[in-house]
Chain A
Amino acid sequence: MDFPIFHLDFIGNRALIAIIAVLHAVINHALAVGLMPVVAMLEIKGFRLLKTNPELAEKWDALAYRILFVAFLITTTIGAMTGVGIWFSASLVNPASIASLIRVFFGAWFVEWLVFVTEVVLILFYFLTWKKLKANLLQKFKHVKYGLFLSFFSWITMAIIVSILSFMMDTGNWNNDRTFLYGFLNPVYLPQLFFRTPLAMTMGGMIAMFLTLIYTRKDLEFRKVALRSISKWVLIWGPLAAAGAMLYYYMIPKSLVGNLPVAMGTLEFQNWYSQIVVIVIVAIGLVIGMANWSYFRPQTAPAWLAGVSILLVVGLMGHFERLREFIRKPYVIGEYMYSNGLRVEDYPLLQRDGVLKHANFVASKEVTDDNMLEAGRDVFILTCSRCHTTNGAVNPMTGKFTDMFGTKPWETAQLKGYIKNMHSARYFMPPFPGNDRELDALCAYIKELQTNPQPVSGAQDGLGFNKPKPSQPVAAVR
């Protein structure tokens, strides 16, 4: 509210974060946490044969290197940049929540950064010295150790992040245990870690399997040996991932007692929650089936099926991330701050004085008879735009009200009645924070949207397009 509000009126703000964050999580889990230990394992296989069977040893080594090459290319470009991108997008979309989290989790993030620096240095070292440290057993041994360190640090990075994630899911603790240690101690932490670790290992194994199927097309003898050990890896971790997923699945409601009716009361949540079992069975089932196929019939195992099962596991992961996001609503920080960036404790003041009065980047600080539409637009931006677009692709205001009230002109009383109580009808939405005059203005604006749908622009409003029609740009104060 104090910040000028960045807003994407077509894809919506949450979609921006979601795309970047899911991409990052998948790359991090699959290619860093999961694949590095597999590469290290393959390298060790070669290392062990170095004396007895140098020719086969070289094959293992070459395969490990080629797999690492792919991981290196992706993690140091898309992986690294989407990691930064999560920061950028989250602080654009919900600056107040990120800023509050940083003040509590500064220590965790700082340690995370140190671990991350180590991880990056190690992957550079591991990859760039592969061909140099090969001359003799001693050198190779050193190199094998880098791989093991790297695997360890990749996992630690994830273990720290999970604490912050679990903290945000666990309701109420912000008001009591505002320390980052509680991130590790809270009840969702271990289940999350037990879920994410084997899931990452499974994904890493599947990617190694996929790449091996491609890289060993010309050497079917070696393919057999290589696929066997990779399938073993998947067969060990796959069931653990399924178990972890189920544990997490049962722990979610348990740890969310405070928020439970909120989440459980919604059809959306119930649908997602019940889909999980099916998705887990299908995705992990296919993975295990594929691993069995590669183990027993390596010659006929198809690469595309490995590809499909990777996509399914990615889907599974995405589903859990969505669920996690959903459970948090209407809060960004459990019982402390709503997703609209306003604190729970701000509400009495704002409902008395209005949100405009205490906001900065608005066209006017008070609703008058002359500025209903303009003020209504600002109220929309301040109170709804974090989750809704006016008329865009994701969660559009006009679409939502049409679903409810049909296409005939909406009436102010209808809109007002709904918005005043929307938090009790739809638990994922925070209560309307403004005063009655502002609600009138918002309703006037929404009615205007029905007859004259105009995209609303955010503070970034640059590059000459997407200017708001009602003369003044949102971000301009007189």
Chain B
Amino acid sequence: MFLNILLQTQTIVQKDIPLPLPVPEWVLVVVLVSMFLVHILFINFMVGGSILTLVYQLLGLRKPDYDKLAYEVAQTITVNKSMAVVMGIAPLLAINTVYTTYFYTANALTGLMWILIIPLVTIAFLLLYAHKFLWHKLDNNKFLHISILATAVAIFLFVPLIFLTNVNLMMFPDKWSVVEGFLSALVLPNVFPRYLHFLNACMAASGLLLVWYFGRKDFDFEEKFPMLSRYNVRKNLYTVTFYGSVVQFLVGPIVLVTLPSQGLGWNVLLVIFTGASIAIVAMVWLWKEITGPAAQFGRHFTKIALTMGVVVLFMGSGRQLYRSNVIDPHRKLVAKKTAEYEKLVKEAQAEALKPKTTETAAATHPGEAIFQMNCVACHQVNDKLVGPSMVEAAGIYKGNLDGLMGWIRQPGKKREGPAMPAQAHLGDDKIKQVAEWVLTLNK
């Protein structure tokens, strides 16, 4: 049914790259989904971590121990950001290979912003280093120090929008002909709900990461932060995770509703709702951790982390299912068009190989044919073009075949304007023929 709709509307159908996939498609899809989840997890840690650092540092203006806490969190970002970048390469490779036409089209249509990702993220990374390594030097200039971090956070909050706009746009070929640049692709209805979904995930994931980080046995919390209670800090981080996740139950449905219904099948809903129900279990454990007695704090941690991991796996798979639901009919059209085009190419090639009857009356002198092939870009017989006319040249080299051949082989520089490139590659035979022909122009 969807295929029919596609055929009726003016949807652009491209040709795919006419080379076989390097590995079976399912391998690429597995790489795409699994490695993307790893990538996005580190991205979550990185973005959420920077936001939490900023929050702690602001709290630190009142209570200096929070500033030290911020310093600890900042240490994690260095690792997470580097891992986020390298782990992003595998899914990039996979999406390039499976969804070539879709991904590249979306990239080009939002091209300026897409390429701006590179300098923007570079700047954010440099700012984060400046923030981390100048921490103690800027102790007396907290305003500057916090602004550095705030700028990096602002960049981190913006860049995901570019990515989301792209992966969203790639799914909807029917939008390609109307979209004009990044801004118009950004306002397609479901970009912002997905963005909110992403931000919540950042908070939830980094909250959980830090609960673990500050809970490690060899982390000497009490000595480092005498004014803070390890229990309270960790409990608050759990709360961040809790809110980040609970809000997803609100944002998730909005995402589903704003997604064009083309791709919503039972398979997608089943996977998403299964994921959501597992998330409820994690919520219950989280709640117990937050409200339970301090003595038993932390005993659900592993379970929570594992179930959250499973939830993320379900959500990621649901997302891929949606994507293939939307794109697959269009991909069939693309495959068909590619095959048709390749057939045309072969036909035209065969046709071009047939000797042409109309051209039999062409060049009489073999040298003229060579002239037509190699020189007419710059020379005409009677008029000056880039170089002088051949009639003029014939006059110059009258009775001097060798001289003419020498010039063609290795031209000099006589006139105003560009120089003539050497034609030695033609080989002596052809040079002789063309030179002989030029001299026949002498009447």
B 184-201 binary contact with A (CB < 8 Å = 1; else 0): 100000000000000000
A81 touching B118 by the CB < 8 A rule?
yes
Of A133-141, A301-309, A367-375, A418-426, which stretch is located at the interface? A418-426
Of A200-208, A210-218, A257-265, A439-447, which stretch is located at the interface? A257-265
Which of chain B's residues have a CB closer than 8 A to the CB of A82? 118, 122
B78 touching A128 by the CB < 8 A rule?
yes
A146 CA / B334 CA spacing, docked (Å)? 49
Interface residues of A in 172-199 (CB under 8 A from B): none
A426 touching B15 by the CB < 8 A rule?
no
Which of chain A's residues have a CB closer than 8 A to the CB of B22? 102-104, 106-107
A81 touching B78 by the CB < 8 A rule?
no
Which of B115, B183, B377, B424 lies in contact with A425, CB distance below 8 A?
B377
A425 touching B422 by the CB < 8 A rule?
no
B423 touching A265 by the CB < 8 A rule?
yes
Interface residues of B in 144-199 (CB under 8 A from A): 176-184
Which of chain B's residues have a CB closer than 8 A to the CB of A424? 373-375, 377
Kindly provide the distance from the CB of B431 to the nearest chain A CB, expressed in whole angstroms.
Answer: 13
B14 touching A16 by the CB < 8 A rule?
no
B109 touching A475 by the CB < 8 A rule?
yes
The answer to whether A98 has its CB under 8 Å from any CB of chain B is yes
Kindly provide the distance from the CB of A356 to the nearest chain B CB, expressed in whole angstroms.
Answer: 14
Kindly provide the distance from the CB of B235 to the nearest chain A CB, expressed in whole angstroms.
Answer: 29
B345 touching A346 by the CB < 8 A rule?
yes
A463 touching B12 by the CB < 8 A rule?
no
Of A60-68, A109-117, A391-399, which stretch is located at the interface? A109-117
A2 CA / B182 CA spacing, docked (Å)? 20
Of B91-99, B268-276, B279-287, which stretch is located at the interface? B91-99
A103 touching B97 by the CB < 8 A rule?
yes
The answer to whether A84 has its CB under 8 Å from any CB of chain B is yes
A4 touching B105 by the CB < 8 A rule?
yes
**Given A3-B101, A81-B122, A117-B87, A102 and B184 contact (CB-CB distance below 8 Å):** no
**Given A100-B19, A417-B380, A461-B180, A106 and B107 contact (CB-CB distance below 8 Å):** no
Kindly provide the distance from the CB of B156 to the nearest chain A CB, expressed in whole angstroms.
Answer: 14
A47 CA / B162 CA spacing, docked (Å)? 48
A478 touching B177 by the CB < 8 A rule?
yes
**Given A77-B122, A106-B22, A462-B113, A476 and B178 contact (CB-CB distance below 8 Å):** yes
Interface size on B (CB < 8 Å)? 80
Which of B14, B108, B182, B184 lies in contact with A5, CB distance below 8 A?
B108
The answer to whether B126 has its CB under 8 Å from any CB of chain A is yes
B114 touching A88 by the CB < 8 A rule?
yes
**Given A80-B86, A104-B22, A106-B97, A3 and B14 contact (CB-CB distance below 8 Å):** yes
Who on chain B is nearest to A404 by CB? B386
Interface residues of A in 343-382 (CB under 8 A from B): 345-346, 348-349, 352-353, 358, 360-361
The answer to whether A225 has its CB under 8 Å from any CB of chain B is no
B425 touching A262 by the CB < 8 A rule?
yes
B114 touching A124 by the CB < 8 A rule?
no
B109 touching A459 by the CB < 8 A rule?
yes
B96 touching A120 by the CB < 8 A rule?
no
The answer to whether B100 has its CB under 8 Å from any CB of chain A is yes
Which of chain B's residues have a CB closer than 8 A to the CB of A405? 385-386
Which of chain A's residues have a CB closer than 8 A to the CB of B109? 4, 459-460, 475
A103 touching B108 by the CB < 8 A rule?
no
The answer to whether A433 has its CB under 8 Å from any CB of chain B is no
- Chain B residues touching A, majority SS: helix
Who on chain B is nearest to A97 by CB? B17
A267 touching B421 by the CB < 8 A rule?
yes
Interface residues of B in 375-421 (CB under 8 A from A): 375-378, 380, 385-386, 417-419, 421
A91 CA / B179 CA spacing, docked (Å)? 20
**Given A4-B109, A346-B345, A461-B180, A88 and B118 contact (CB-CB distance below 8 Å):** yes
**Given A110-B90, A116-B89, A462 and B424 contact (CB-CB distance below 8 Å):** no
**Given A106-B23, A116-B86, A116-B89, A404 and B417 contact (CB-CB distance below 8 Å):** yes
A77 CA / B77 CA spacing, docked (Å)? 13
Of B60-68, B222-230, B296-304, B348-356, which stretch is located at the interface? B348-356
A352 CA / B111 CA spacing, docked (Å)? 32
Which of A80, A88, A264, A461 lies in contact with B117, CB distance below 8 A?
A88
Interface size on A (CB < 8 Å)? 81
Which of chain B's residues have a CB closer than 8 A to the CB of A358? 341
B108 touching A349 by the CB < 8 A rule?
no
A78 CA / B89 CA spacing, docked (Å)? 16
The answer to whether B121 has its CB under 8 Å from any CB of chain A is yes
The answer to whether B293 has its CB under 8 Å from any CB of chain A is no
The answer to whether B88 has its CB under 8 Å from any CB of chain A is yes
A 454-473 binary contact with B (CB < 8 Å = 1; else 0): 00001111111000000001
The answer to whether A220 has its CB under 8 Å from any CB of chain B is no
Which of chain A's residues have a CB closer than 8 A to the CB of B15? 2
A124 CA / B86 CA spacing, docked (Å)? 12
Which of A16, A76, A89, A426 lies in contact with B82, CB distance below 8 A?
A76
A92 touching B108 by the CB < 8 A rule?
yes
Which of A81, A110, A265, A352 lies in contact with B348, CB distance below 8 A?
A352
A418 touching B79 by the CB < 8 A rule?
no
Interface residues of A in 2-58 (CB under 8 A from B): 2-6, 16, 20
B108 touching A95 by the CB < 8 A rule?
yes
A418 CA / B107 CA spacing, docked (Å)? 34
A96 CA / B122 CA spacing, docked (Å)? 27
Who on chain A is nearest to B351 by CB? A348
B96 touching A425 by the CB < 8 A rule?
no
The answer to whether A277 has its CB under 8 Å from any CB of chain B is no
Which of B184, B347, B385 lies in contact with A414, CB distance below 8 A?
B385
A95 touching B104 by the CB < 8 A rule?
yes
The answer to whether A99 has its CB under 8 Å from any CB of chain B is yes
The answer to whether A266 has its CB under 8 Å from any CB of chain B is yes
Which of chain A's residues have a CB closer than 8 A to the CB of B183? 462-464
The answer to whether B254 has its CB under 8 Å from any CB of chain A is no
B184 touching A462 by the CB < 8 A rule?
yes
A360 touching B377 by the CB < 8 A rule?
no
Residue among B109, B125, B380 with most chain A CB within 10 A:
B109
B352 touching A348 by the CB < 8 A rule?
yes
Kindly provide the distance from the CB of B11 to the nearest chain A CB, expressed in whole angstroms.
Answer: 10
Which of chain A's residues have a CB closer than 8 A to the CB of B231? none
Kindly provide the distance from the CB of B60 to the nearest chain A CB, expressed in whole angstroms.
Answer: 24
Who on chain B is nearest to A89 by CB? B115
Kindly provide the distance from the CB of A337 to the nearest chain B CB, expressed in whole angstroms.
Answer: 10
Which of B79, B85, B385 lies in contact with A81, CB distance below 8 A?
B85
Kindly provide the distance from the CB of A354 to the nearest chain B CB, expressed in whole angstroms.
Answer: 12
A100 CA / B100 CA spacing, docked (Å)? 10
The answer to whether B344 has its CB under 8 Å from any CB of chain A is yes
The answer to whether B112 has its CB under 8 Å from any CB of chain A is yes
A348 CA / B349 CA spacing, docked (Å)? 6
Who on chain B is nearest to A467 by CB? B180
**Given A106-B93, A267-B421, A458 and B111 contact (CB-CB distance below 8 Å):** yes
B12 touching A103 by the CB < 8 A rule?
no
Which of chain B's residues have a CB closer than 8 A to the CB of A116? 86, 89
A151 CA / B107 CA spacing, docked (Å)? 35
A425 touching B374 by the CB < 8 A rule?
yes
The answer to whether A149 has its CB under 8 Å from any CB of chain B is no
Kindly provide the distance from the CB of A100 to the nearest chain B CB, expressed in whole angstroms.
Answer: 6
A462 touching B112 by the CB < 8 A rule?
yes
Residues of chain A having any CB pair with chain B under 8 Å: 2-6, 16, 20, 73, 76-78, 80-82, 84-85, 87-89, 91-92, 95-96, 98-100, 102-104, 106-107, 109-110, 113, 116-117, 120-121, 124, 128, 260-262, 264-267, 270, 345-346, 348-349, 352-353, 358, 360-361, 403-405, 414, 417-418, 420-422, 424-426, 458-464, 473, 475-478
Q: A92-B115, A104-B19, A348-B351 are in contact. List 7 more A-B contacts (CB 8 A).
A: A73-B126, A76-B82, A98-B96, A103-B21, A426-B377, A461-B180, A477-B177
Report 6 cross-chain contacts, Cβ distance below 8 Å, ordered by A residue: A117-B87, A121-B83, A124-B82, A270-B422, A346-B345, A426-B421
